[in-house]
Structure 1
Amino acid sequence: MPRRLFPALATLLIGLAVLLLPPPPAARAQSAPEATAEASLQPVLQAQAEVFLESSRRTIQPAIDAVAGSGLPQAPDFLVAWAEREIWVREADMTFFRVTRDDDRIYHLYDLDTGAEVMTLDDDEGYEDLRPNSGIRALIGAALVRFQLEDPDPAIRAEALDSIDRNGEAGHLAPLAASIEGETDPALRARKAQLLTLLTIRYAEDKDARIAAIESLAGNLDVAVRATLNPLVATTRAAAATLPEGRNIARQLRPGSDALPRTEAYQLLVDAGLAPPLVSAGDLRATLAQHIDAGAVGGVPLADLADPGARDRAFDGLVAAGTVEPAATEADIDAALAAHVFFETYAEADPDVTEAANAALNSISRRVALNQVLDLALDALSLGSIYFLAAIGLAITFGVMGVINMAHGEFIMMGAYTGYVLQQVIPDYTVSILVAIPTAFAVTFAAGVAMERLVIRWLYSRPLETLLATFGVSIALQQLAKNIFGTQARPLTSPDWLNGSWILNDIVGISYIRIAIFVLALIFLGLFLFMMKKTRLGLETRAVTQNPKMAASMGINPDRVNMLTFGLGSGIAGIAGVAIGLYAQVTSEIGQQYIVQSFMTVVVGGVGNIWGTLLGAGMIGALQKGIEWVYPSNTLAAQTYMIVFIIIFIQFRPRGIIALKGRAAGD
């Protein structure tokens, strides 16, 4: 290395050493305060010290804005401590501290910048305690929202939005608007945008901004939207000599109309001090009783006051003496009503805003009506699918065999109890339900076959005896269930994935259990059609249904077909019991709640026809839900009107929607 490079290299190393070595104590003493001053909250607070000490809601906002707008990370902690009344000011140099007190009544003072404990005190001499009132604390809370809305933690931002949703105010507008652009969570960003719109409608000073916000919500079904718009179009009734100018008048009212009865109109005049009050019979008696003098009132003896006319004369005498105020006569009332105008005024002063709000609410009302129809249709569809499941087995037995099985509801009950028993053995609800469906089919299929072999086979072509016999079996099965399981309702718990509802919006929703039942009904519809069209049993069943004698001559055993058909219908009823038990309490009477609707479904749809049963279930479900919508609190009315409708329907369509040819049709 050339010798001339050594001096340059040495100079470079010395310079690096000087830069890397710590500064001397004097230098450190000078640089530290400068660094602290740049990141300290104290200068901001001391610049507003007089405002803090005055602590008035009307003057405190500049101090809050100075702290919140400082951009220092200590600002939120200071605001929280101030709201919790933990801030002291040292009067000697106007230094601010956070203060806590321990159980020994010792005060601990902490530095606002570092959070380190500075000193302890026995009393507060020489210090001023900042104790914000409720109004100032509300302003502090609004300032804290600015920090919470931009907090890195999404949960904190969501909590801030919940707080604004509950107690929104004009001070939230600016921080909420400023936080939207930097929001990374799509759901929170959408919530912020909607809250900003709602707050703009309530608190914005710019009329055009309010109207634009209102128009953007047209057709929005959110309940919060209607809660924001409804106060804008709320009205109050008033009376005056002439229509007042500068008031946002909704409409004029005519006294004596349905909108404003005559007595209510006059009471408005009385409340406004524009007419004397009316004197009722009770008020008249009380007034007369208060002015009894020497056995008379107004010159009328007490003995004569039993006569209404005498009471009126006594009152007129008190009026003539100047003792009481005169009462209004009918002529006075008519004159007063004719001399004044009656009107409703909006709570919102600006007519353009109320016009926009009414237009938005009308749009929302139309959409609400459409969604209510959709929700009602979904309810009817789900109820119809339940009735279809309950009735499909009855359609098979009643249609193919002509047997009026009053014990069909008890097969539903047996299926529900089968599911309950399996859940006691298999704790996993998903597995237990999956096992319960085939098990319930097997149990009720076997019970149906046994019932057909022991009872039904001896009663073919004798419908009255069949009805009585199966009714007796129904009572016996109910009592047997009570003896085994007791009278207390038993729960059939659905799996977690079936809990909750599918919510389309604030109006339309349907539970996942009912969706599952609807899907189950479609599956069984497909299975039934496959069995009837593609299997030997289905072919034989259709043959026996159309002409049992001809089927027998072709080598088909009608007795065997009847047995299997009855067992199949009973087994499907058992599966329906598992489905119904998922949302209804399992009791010995659970089947009786569906037996009437099942028979109506079969009769309306067409005896023995699966498509007719499907249409009948849909019609019965829609009819019941429609009547319940008209009479929401009267379930008996719904049942009564539904039965009346069925009776009328049968008069015009005695064989149902889709009539069946063959034995079930009586051919």
Structure 2
Amino acid sequence: MLRPFRLLLAGLLVCLATASAIAQPAPTPIEELLLQNSELIDKSSRRTIEPAIEALRDSDLPGAETVLTRWRDRELWRRKSDGRFFLVAPGADRDTYVLRHVVTDEELGTAGRRDVDQIKPNSGIQGLINSALVQFQLTNPDPAARRASLDAISRNPSADQLPILREALQEEAEPGIKATMTRLERLLTIRFDEDIATRVSAIESLAGDLSVEARATLNPLLSTTRKASREELEDANVARELSPGSDEFSYDAAYDFLVGENLAPKTINAAAKDAALTANIADGSVAGIPITTLNTREARDAAYVKLAADGAVSPALTEAERTALVDEFNFYDVYAENPAVTEAVLGTIGAINFRVHLNEFADLALDALSLASIYFLAAIGLAITFGVMGVINMAHGEFIMMGAYTGYVVQQFVPDRTLSIVVALPLAFIITFAAGVLLERLVIRWLYHRPLETLLATFGVSIALQQLAKNIFGTQARPLTAPGWLDGALVFNDVVAISYIRIAIFVLAVVFFLLLLFVLNRTRLGLEVRAVRQNPRMASSMGIDRERVNMLTFGLGSGIAGIAGVAIGLFAQVTSEIGQAYIVQSFMTVVVGGVGNVWGTLAGATLIGFLQKGIEWFNPSNTLAAQTYMIVFIIIFIQFRPRGIVALKGRAAEA
């Protein structure tokens, strides 16, 4: 009775197995390839996995890219029973997985959680897979994918990518991507191509390339190895010959190098000699010499020489012997590369360095122009008040500070950064204009033609305004955030760039320069200001209210300082001392340019900006020294041109 039951059960199992085989189709070609390399994939070793990755990459099978991507992303699983690879998804219960095809995602049945293992490539294998994916990504129809692939190659270049890149280059149609691809192909050719002529051609093609990548590719080709030889090196690519005893290569350094190359015995110092003597003491003596006599360095050295003669210790060379041994050798620094490659690299780097210096000069000029625009904005208000009224306003920096704090306060109520700046600029002008008028009415008007008292009074006002700002805003720096569209920089190449904030300040300076020219030359107020500046008494006799002109002029100069404060606050820390950083340069700008002249202020700001940047370029590590040199230069300058670059003429100059 039991036997028929067993036969029935066996038949059912055979039917189930047959049904399972029918339910799961035979492996596709891509699955067969995975099965053929299953042992390598299971090991997941960076040292042995490359054949499996290359087999998939070079198979030309549909879905190869998908499989590599899913392998890299740890989405592949392997069934233990037959070694087939699948994707898995949660099943009906937590102990079951749904098996899917590695390419098509077609459902292929289920398996228990313990019946499959996940393939987990480490970071090294993932890097190799990424390199293999380059072949597919370089021909991807999506331009963004091709650009991403080029970025990946540039970050992790290898020799096997070079033929793939060249093949893709022939098919690339988009000009921008093709230019990037061409340049990357040159860089890889320089590093990995075996043909010398091809490498030399690629090296020479980089003569106009200012990128960091180009220099990073070329500079390692000039690496050298130090060698020592008793004979002249005839076939080596010698970079330079070293002379022992020179400042860069002393005799000690030469001997140490020979020791490191096993061409000379190690140096035995005094401590080692004394230790050897101690180890060889026998019956109160060393090599027959009583230890009581070894109380000098010369005696101990002589005892060591005797020990060496007896073969008990290694012989020690004297200084003369060491020098003579060094003199037997010629020392060289030898290039690792072929002479033709080295010559091409030296020529190309020379051309690149020349262009780099030119572009560094252009970058320095842009920085100087940017700094000049800042100084112009900070000084133009002072030039107007000083030129028309003859007032030395030591509180001018505090009007800059008030403008910066106005911009900060506006941003607390107007979250939109662009709108807040649009609101802050006119508001800063209004507030500082009113503050300037108030200062002129309460203090300055009583001190005309008394320069010392005016200087002391405005200095006191400066201290008071700084303390008031500290009481209101505290001593901590406050942020004045620029709009998002001012983030970043305008990049011309890897050497020349200028931030968008600097460009915006330069544009603002140009706008105010043109606006001031219009006000001074095309408006009634400008006519009255020029009249008062040229001949105050005659202007009064012609019915011009000098007090009103002085008040409005001081207010105008203060208002412009407030606008300068908003601009400066966009890149500098807003504190109560922000204006003090520019007051000295503002006075220097006015004095050098010419008092009371807009064109003179522009010329003075340009000279100060370029001078400061030039001095900082020669001495970049010491900005205080740069400031000192600049002041000395200006003192010398005004000795020869006391009225400034653009001096006033006629009665205005005599006033």
The answer to whether structure 1 residue 76 and structure 2 residue 53 are counterparts is no
Where does the alignment leave 5 or more consecutive residues of structure 2 unmatched?
1-21
The alpha-carbon distance between structure 1 residues 502 and 296, as it changes in their structure 2 partners (threshold 3 A), is farther
- Tell me the SS of whatever aligns to 1:41: helix
How far 1:332 moved relative to its partner? Answer: 2.1
What is the CA–CA distance in structure 2 between the aligned matches of 1:273 and 1:660, rounded to whole Å?
80
Q: More deviation in 267-276 or 491-500?
A: 267-276
Alignment of 1:406-555 (within 5 A): 406-555=394-543
C-alpha displacement of 1:243: 3.7
Deviation, 1:657, is 2.1
Closer/same/farther in 2, CA of residues 476 and 275 from structure 1, 3 Å limit: same
The answer as to 2:549 corresponding to 1:561 is yes
Q: 2:106 aligns with which of 102, 105, 116?
A: 116
Quote how far apart the aligned CAs of 1:336 are: 2.3
- 2-structure distance, mates of 1:516, 1:54: 59
Farther-moved stretch of structure 1 (269-278 vs 566-575): 269-278
Which deviations, in whole Å up to 9, do the C-alpha atoms of 1:400-442 show, x marking residues without a partner? Answer: 2221111010011111111112222222222221222222112
The equivalent position to 1:143 in structure 2, one of 132, 145, 150, is 132
Quote the RMSD (CA, aligned, Å): 3.6
Partner residue, 1:237:
226
Give 1:611's match in structure 2, choosing from 584, 594, 599: 599
CA distance in 1, matches of 2:43, 2:567: 70
What CA distance in whole angstroms lies between the structure 1 residues aligned with 2:43 and 2:235? Answer: 40
Listed one character per residue, the Cα deviations across residues 526-549 of structure 1 (whole Å, up to 9, x for unaligned) are 122222222222222222222322
> C-alpha distance in 1, partners of 2:78/2:328?
65
Measured after TM superposition, the shift of residue 82 of structure 1 is: 5.4
Tell me, in whole angstroms, the C-alpha distance in 2 between the residues paired with 1:132 and 1:428. 47
C-alpha separation in 2, matches of 1:251 and 1:372: 30
- Give 1:413's aligned amino acid: M
**Residue type at the aligned position of 1:570:** S
Q: 1:517: how far off?
A: 0.9
| Structure 2 counterpart of 1:345 | 334
1:204 aligns with 2:187: no
The Cα of 1:187 is off from its aligned counterpart by: 3.5
Q: 1:398 matched to which residue of 2?
A: 386
Structure 2 residue corresponding to 1:591, chosen from 570, 573, 579: 579
- Structure 1 residues 81 and 580, CA gap change in structure 2 (3 angstroms): closer
- Please give the secondary structure, in 2, of the residue aligned with 1:344: strand
For the 8 Å contact 1:97–1:109, the answer to whether it is kept is no
Candidates 221, 225, 247, aligned match of 2:214: 225
Please give the alpha-carbon distance, in whole angstroms, between the structure 2 residues aligned to 1:540 and 1:639: 38
Shift of 1:52: 8.2
Matches of 2:29 and 2:499, distance apart in 1:
57
> Structure 1 residue 595: deviation in Å?
0.6
Query: Which of residues 609, 622, 647 in structure 1 aligns to 2:635?
Result: 647
Supply the distance in 1 between the matched residues of 2:151 and 2:176 (Cα, whole angstroms).
Answer: 13
Distance 1:245 1:620, change over 3 A: same
Contact 1:81 1:87 in 2 (8 A): no
1:463–1:135 CA distance, 2 compared to 1 (3 A): closer
CA distance in 2: counterparts of 1:318 and 1:224, whole angstroms:
60
Tell me if structure 2 keeps the 8 A contact 1:444–1:573.
yes
Is the 1:395–1:608 contact (alpha carbons within 8 Å) kept by the matching residues of 2? yes
Asked if the contact 2:388–2:529 (Cα under 8 Å) also holds between the matched residues in 1, the reply is yes
Instruction: Report the equivalent of 1:14.
Output: none
Deviation at 1:113, TM superposition (A): 5.9
Matched AA of 2:249: L
Q: TM-score, normalised by structure 1?
A: 0.84
In structure 2, distance between residues paired with 1:335 and 1:266: 10
Task: Report the AA paired with residue 235 of structure 1.
Answer: T
Q: How does 1:54-65 map to 2 (within 5 A)?
A: 64-65=53-54
Query: Whole-Å Cα distance in 2 between the matches of residues 543 and 133 of structure 1?
Result: 82
Aligned to 2:648: 660
* Structural mapping, 1:16-55, within 5 Å: 40-42=29-31
Which of 302, 308, 331 aligns to 2:320? It is: 331
Pick the aligned partner of 1:570 from 558, 566, 570: 558
Name the SS of the counterpart of 1:325 in structure 2. Answer: coil
Cα 1:54–1:374 shift into 2, 3 Å: closer
Q: What is the aligned partner in structure 2 of residue 3 from structure 1? A: none
Equivalent runs, 1:157-236 vs 2, <5 Å: 157-183=146-172, 185-236=174-225
CA–CA distance in structure 2, aligned partners of residues 287 and 612 of structure 1:
82
Shift in Å at residue 556 of structure 1?
Answer: 2.6
- Decide whether the 8 Å contact of 2:400 with 2:564 is kept in 1: yes
The amino acid of 2:478's aligned partner reads R
Q: Which amino acid aligns with 2:363?
A: D
Q: Deviations over 1:364-421 (max 9, x none)?
A: 1111111111111111110111011111111111222221111010011111111112
Deviations 1:546-604 (A, max 9, x none): 23223323333333222222111111111111111111111111000101111111122
C-alpha separation between the residues in 1 aligned to 2:294 and 2:517?
A: 88
The Cα shift of 1:623 comes to: 1.8
Matched-pair contact (CA < 8 Å) for 1:89–1:130: no
Q: Is the 8 A contact 1:385 1:518 kept in 2?
A: yes
- Measured against aligned partners, the alpha-carbon deviations of 1:51-71 in whole angstroms (never above 9, x if no partner) come to 989999899767655543443
Question: Which has the larger displacement, 263-272 or 586-595?
Answer: 263-272
Note closer, same or farther for the CA distance 1:358–1:288 as it changes in structure 2 (3 Å cut). Answer: farther
Deviation at 1:443, TM superposition (A): 1.2
Give the residue type in structure 1 aligned to 2:106.
A
* Residue 355 of structure 1, CA deviation: 1.5
Whole-Å separation in 2 of the counterparts to 1:463 and 1:527: 30
Give the whole-Å Cα distance in 2 for the aligned partners of 1:104 and 1:38.
Answer: 27
8 Å contact kept, 1:232–1:347: yes
Deviation at 1:224, TM superposition (A): 1.0
Relative to 1, partners in 2 of residues 1:568 and 1:68: Cα closer, same or farther, differing over 3 Å?
A: same
Does the CA contact (< 8 Å) of 2:66 and 2:103 recur in 1? no
Q: Deviations over 1:324-359 (max 9, x none)?
A: 4333333223322321111112232x2211221221
When residues 40 and 319 of structure 1 are mapped into structure 2, their CA distance, relative to the original with a 3 A threshold, is closer
Amino acid at match of 2:311: G
Select 1:252's aligned residue among 232, 241, 247: 241
Which residue identity lines up with residue 509 of structure 2 in the other structure? Answer: A
For 1:361, the aligned partner's letter is I
| More deviation, 409-418/326-335 | 326-335
In the alignment, structure 1 segments of 5+ residues that lack a partner are 1-32
* 1:142 to 1:514, Cα distance in 2 relative to 1, 3 A: closer
Moved more, 613-622 or 140-149: 140-149
> Aligned partners of 2:479, 2:122: CA distance in 1, in Å?
54
Per mean C-alpha deviation after superposition, the further-off stretch among 175-184 and 498-507 is: 175-184
SS in 1 for 2:459: helix
Q: Contact conserved, 1:40 with 1:113, CA < 8 A, in 2?
A: no
d(CA) in 2 for partners of 1:120, 1:423 = 61
- Figure out how many residues of one structure are paired with residues of the other and give that number: 629
Matched residue, 1:156: 145
Question: Would you say the 8 A contact 1:233–1:346 is kept in 2?
Answer: yes
User: Contact 1:400/1:664 (CA < 8 Å) preserved in 2?
Assistant: no
AA partner of residue 458 (structure 2): T
SS of 1:632 mapped into structure 2: coil
